[in-house]
Structure 1
């Protein structure tokens, strides 16, 4: 009968286990709960603002309105050189800004000043996180038990079938893993046992012992090199040692340098965009004023009914004026097109002559960290490059292949893949460990020497230090998976990743040569176009003067005069466009060579450590003492990771093989702009356009 009830109980238990899996979820009606959840449902669907603490030197909420065509004339200007613009940008650049709106669209991809520090302090993949695997660790635990049980065998109960026991135990351990992979442990275990077994020496006894244990791997996970690469906790395909963490930090530094380089390049792009916008406005306003004067003359003849004042000529002159008025308005305000920025046609940026003083000025303010609107108008004070530059191709090519941060970053990645491959090969060996343990034991009626029964087992601590009970153990442990499937997969993946990164480096070098070739050729093209547009500008000015004289003598038609005025305006714009293109082409050559930061006297340097870090380093160096030179040092030393410090500033006196500065052949100074009458009443050129500098580069 007992067996039948057991079977029924088993069936009921099995049914209870499988019943929920077959049931369907049915929500409890709200009226059955006695509450209305509509209020909570409404709150859960609300969109709320987070309560965060923000600190900013600039308060966007108090920004004044922007300058526009309806703002009228302004008499407040901020004259700014290119060097000052770059300086302002660098000191205001907690985030390396870009012109593509990345900070709003994908803020996680924006580079910032804290990125290298974030990568180095990453607790998972950073240097300190990798070093933490070698830190000493301490653990302790304690527990108390009260046991009251019946035993079937008197022998196991210590002479009784009803055992009553109070049992307390405490365990502490200090462990550390060395650089060679050896694991050291120092343990203490203390137990208190009070029970009613009649066979006990004393009713309650204390037992304590200290363990010294060492485990050293000989094959898998053994050696300084493996533990530097993979760490003591590394697994096949999951390599994250100190060397790998340092390589990740080097990659982050290269990424940061790339961000700074692109940021400086975009500041210069915005600066010359604004310069061209002013020159474009100057040419458009001069053409508009000339068209206005022509229209006024034709209109006067039209009102007097004289020859030359025919209705079609008056309408033609009026249309010509309003066409230039439109161009002047667009040149002053600008339209929201993309300006010159990095990677729009070339690595450093291909010039886009969209024009527009107000738009270009706000774009420059955005890049250098100035308030977007403050009632002032930024004016460039530097003039574009006018000297001819001739580059040594072989020296420029050597610079590009050695100093481009993209190539250096890729080489760090290749070094990381090589280290991962070497570490993964270690997992193809079996795990063979040597184990050694030594133990001191103590037993007594009490734990410390007071009270207790007289005799040799009065207290456990005295018995421990007497050394009467010592134990030791030595041995070997070996284990390995049959076939090493996971290890072989990790090695194969590392080989494929290494091959891929090397192929990427090869293509990057080809791309660098391609971009450098384009940049050097662009310098030659832009300089030739500057010369051509200079001659065109001279010819257009001479043509206008001749046509005006002929028109006064009634030997030229109105069409020729209006066409000559248009050609002068176009020639002026084309000349300054060519100058800006030439200046940006020279900047892009420095970028393609990897010397743009050096060219602008910008250098990257790690910030200072806390004072305590220097004190700790000095103390550890003193404790380390003089290094011991061993004959087998070259065989046991870790492989080199880098080739030395990256030179950010190359001086001719240090490296005499580097070429001197490019030779320069100055262009003839550009002629003064022809007097096209004073500006019209709508725009004051003396306020809007900075006077041209007289120095030649």
Structure 2
């Protein structure tokens, strides 16, 4: 019995020896983490640097007095662009679809969703498994317990997950035993073999086709949500590009209006100078004219700054490699507004918006996922009750091959059931309640979202009507203001008006033209808002998202030559 005690002592110390061996492997051990972990430099997070912008000036700093003298020597306080590139609205849209960074990021989302779906669909893939086990025991164990001194087990099989929640397993087990000291009439052979067929099937929790394929259906819905979000992002980005385009149009026309106002003021100053030289006007009238010409420079400076900002905004959205955001190339819109009086059915558009808007589709999908989640939580609350069955065909002999040839000499069946009933089950019951409440919240959100979409449609239609009426009012004002300017200039020539009155009339004309330009841009933007509110794209072109080489790409249908309210008409000109 001393030998048996010594054997048990060795077996007890083996785990400790193995642990010490693993820990002693040094830098090459399996517990060693030699992965470089990146961290930002402490100065980047622990210190706020200062900046002196005066020292970083690329030109010598100047005070306002010196700079003012230089500005007076120039005809205009702004520089003309070195290069001007004309852009049509169709070119802008295509560039946005091909290059916009935000849209590029959104195009990846459907691919991620499809990968998640593929991983869920692969959960029922079969698994090949194999194993080897070596078992050593002392001779005394063989004599005392009747077990072999040592044995080798070879296992290989195939496990097939079932969509009903169970597993089907087919495996083979071959065992070679070193029988050691044989006992008389011992029927055991050196090799034993078996082929086993087993099935394990839950009957309550985790059972059923609907429960076990729920994750696949949810992944399919999540893929649909990714597609809906991509469509929504594309509509929003194109709408932003359209708005940026028409704001750029308004900025260009505003600058032209202010330059024209300056030219009229300079012409008035020249008329006043001629009258002074002819002795028909006092010198103060020339001073008034010069003051009026100088006051228009501020409007030109502001209009030029606004134009540069609008250009950078459009360049950012387009993200064209040939038009970097810091490039000096100016962008000039070549598509003119096409204002037309149209009447739209607000209620019909609101219904279409609720049907077409991707936010509503996403909510519908979320509600379906919530219903599926409730079913899953209810299944999880059921007791565990399962059935296990195994049928085994066995054989034994003195060799490996002969042991398999002897298969069928013996067979066995095993059937079993198991169950668990949670006491209280409050965790799973509360999960059911949370899932139900989440669905109720989502239903309320759907009603609120539908009401908000209706409001967006009605608001966009009101802005369209307002923009149309503003076009008419500002155009009439522009025509009348132009007549007033012409009349005031004639009155000035005969000495009945002063330069101040002429300049006031010119200022009112410029303001009227500016309002008309803004009204034209607002009209086009209101059309964009209506299309966005209804979940559609303004114009004649259509955008499709297709899958090529396992990637989602954009396919744009060319725009037809038909007249479109998106622009292209000639009704947007401002009277001179």
Aligned to 1:474: 415
How far off its partner does 1:385 sit? 2.7
1:384 has 2:337 as partner: yes
- Bigger shift: residues 358-367 or 263-272: 358-367
SS in 2 for 1:489: helix
Structure-2 separation of matches of 1:203 and 1:499: 67
1:366 has 2:268 as partner: no
Structure-2 separation of matches of 1:600 and 1:180: 50
Q: Decide whether the 8 Å contact of 2:127 with 2:158 is kept in 1.
A: yes
How far off its partner does 1:71 sit? 8.9
How far off its partner does 1:250 sit? 1.2
How far off its partner does 1:185 sit? 0.7
Determine which of 282, 288, 291 is the counterpart of 2:265.
291
Structure-2 separation of matches of 1:223 and 1:562: 86
Q: Decide whether the 8 Å contact of 2:339 with 2:520 is kept in 1.
A: yes
Q: Decide whether the 8 Å contact of 2:516 with 2:574 is kept in 1.
A: no
1:324 has 2:314 as partner: no
Q: Decide whether the 8 Å contact of 1:300 with 1:309 is kept in 2.
A: no
Structure-1 separation of matches of 2:499 and 2:252: 29
How far off its partner does 1:479 sit? 2.2
Aligned to 1:143: 133
How far off its partner does 1:47 sit? 8.0
Structure-2 separation of matches of 1:414 and 1:166: 61
CA RMSD of aligned residues (A): 3.1
1:210 has 2:200 as partner: no
Structure-1 separation of matches of 2:546 and 2:164: 31
In 2 relative to 1, CA 203–403 (structure 1 residues): closer, same or farther, beyond 3 Å?
closer
Determine which of 112, 118, 142 is the counterpart of 1:118.
112
In 2 relative to 1, CA 417–552 (structure 1 residues): closer, same or farther, beyond 3 Å?
same
Q: List runs of 5+ in structure 2 lacking aligned partners.
A: 1-38, 45-75, 551-555, 558-562
- Bigger shift: residues 477-486 or 599-608: 599-608
**TM-score normalized by the length of structure 2:** 0.79
Determine which of 212, 225, 229 is the counterpart of 1:251.
225
Aligned to 1:198: 182
Aligned to 2:50: none
Q: Decide whether the 8 Å contact of 2:386 with 2:418 is kept in 1.
A: yes
Determine which of 174, 177, 187 is the counterpart of 2:161.
177
SS in 1 for 2:144: coil
Aligned to 1:673: 575
How far off its partner does 1:400 sit? 1.0
How far off its partner does 1:141 sit? 1.6
SS in 2 for 1:440: strand
Determine which of 220, 223, 228 is the counterpart of 2:208.
223
In 2 relative to 1, CA 280–301 (structure 1 residues): closer, same or farther, beyond 3 Å?
same
Aligned to 2:13: none
How far off its partner does 1:512 sit? 0.6
Aligned to 2:404: 461
Q: Decide whether the 8 Å contact of 1:82 with 1:268 is kept in 2.
A: yes
Aligned to 1:584: 525
Q: Decide whether the 8 Å contact of 1:194 with 1:203 is kept in 2.
A: no
Structure-1 separation of matches of 2:316 and 2:191: 75
In 2 relative to 1, CA 400–45 (structure 1 residues): closer, same or farther, beyond 3 Å?
closer
**TM-score normalized by the length of structure 1:** 0.66
| Moved >4 Å (runs of 4+) | 43-48, 69-72, 200-204, 299-302, 667-672
- Bigger shift: residues 220-229 or 477-486: 477-486
Structure-2 separation of matches of 1:408 and 1:509: 11
1:91 has 2:91 as partner: no
